[in-house]
Amino acid sequence: MVDDLGEPVTLAGPPRRLVSLVPSLTDAIETTRPGLLVGATDYCTHPPDLDVPRVGGSKYPTVDAVLDLRPDLVVANAEENRPEDVARLRANGIPVWVTTAAATVPEGLGSVRRLLTQGLDLPEPSWLVEAEDLWRTSAPVWATAVIPVWRRPWIVVGRDTFAGDVLHRLGIANAYAYHADRYPRPPLDELNDKGADLVVLPDEPYEFTAADGPESFPGLPYALVNGRFLTWCGPSLVEAHASLTAGTRP
């Protein structure tokens, strides 16, 4: 087998001791087959009752802590995890399955399906089928939005991002969809002069709130949304469709 990046993943059999370095994959694996995970990052908050040893952050995991757990397989992501950590795990004989940095919802769900059904030899979960049905089509565009994910400095969603495609499928065009960068860093004046109809403010990775964020966009309608619904490719996509539709409409 090979992972999403074309790297070989050699397994003696279906893995039964997994460490996840990606919060959304942690949620997908534990929801689909509870008990496979023996370790996860500090940011793996779902499912809420997950009780496994923690191995640090996604960007800077404690590799020795991962090795101490003796996993059959580690799951990682091309955007969230550092190549040097993946390389060190592989150098220590630990297979690592790296998923793609998906640019669309179908691409992301296809990546998760490969991991679950091919990599982990699990049946296709019902939540995945439901998520594909919910997100299969796109609504007509009714607004154009700027989508900050950080401030000080301001960083916004740009081209070819999962979050941008999520909103596009709800009828919200991304004002920076054709920018050269996937996560541009425009000045605030530019953001306010972009001619957007809406600013979408998620609560992660930066925790925007009613008192922290909207004041920077005077006169522009804003929507505070669950960041997990916007960026996680996993079981949360089922709930996300209704929540984001209700949360962004005026």
Mean pLDDT of 161-181: 97
Residue closest to 39 by CA, chosen among 25, 14, 67, 20: 20
The whole-number pLDDT of residue 125 equals: 97
Write down the mean pLDDT value for the chain.
Answer: 96
- Using DSSP's 3-state secondary structure scheme, residue 148 falls into strand
Q: How far apart are CA 50 and CA 230, in angstroms?
A: 22
The whole-number pLDDT of residue 248 equals: 80
Angle at the Cα of 224 from the Cα atoms of 219 and 229, rounded to 5 degrees: 145
Mean pLDDT of 139-154: 96
Which run of H or of E encompasses 88?
Answer: helix 83-91
Burial class, 55, CB count within 10 angstroms (exposed 0-12 / middle 13-18 / buried 19+): buried
The whole-number pLDDT of residue 182 equals: 95
Mean pLDDT of 2-12: 95
Mean pLDDT of 85-114: 97
DSSP structural state of residue 226: -
The whole-number pLDDT of residue 250 equals: 67
The whole-number pLDDT of residue 136 equals: 95
Q: Which of the two residues, 9 and 246, has the higher pLDDT score? A: 9
Q: Over the stretch 188-210, which tens digit does the pLDDT of each residue have?
A: 999 999 999 999 999 999 999 99
Mean pLDDT of 231-238: 96
Count of other CB atoms within 10 angstroms of residue 175: 22
The whole-number pLDDT of residue 193 equals: 95
The whole-number pLDDT of residue 233 equals: 96
* 96-99 β-sheet, strand order: 37-40, 18-20, 73-77, 96-99
Q: Inform me whether the pLDDT recorded for 212 exceeds 70.
A: yes
For residue 101, what are the contacts with CB-CB under 8 A and spacing of at least 6?
Answer: 77, 78, 79, 162
Q: Over the stretch 22-76, which tens digit does the pLDDT of each residue have?
A: 999 999 999 999 999 999 999 999 999 999 999 999 889 999 999 999 999 999 9
Taken in order 58, 73, 79, 117, is the CA torsion positive or negative?
Answer: negative
The pair of structure tokens assigned to 137 is: 């089509």
pTM over 0.75: yes
Domains and CATH numbers, the chain: 18-133 (3.40.50.1980), 143-248 (3.40.50.1980)
Q: Quick one: the chain helix, strand, coil %, rounded to 5?
A: 35, 20, 50
pLDDT bracket for residue 249 (50, 70, 90): confident
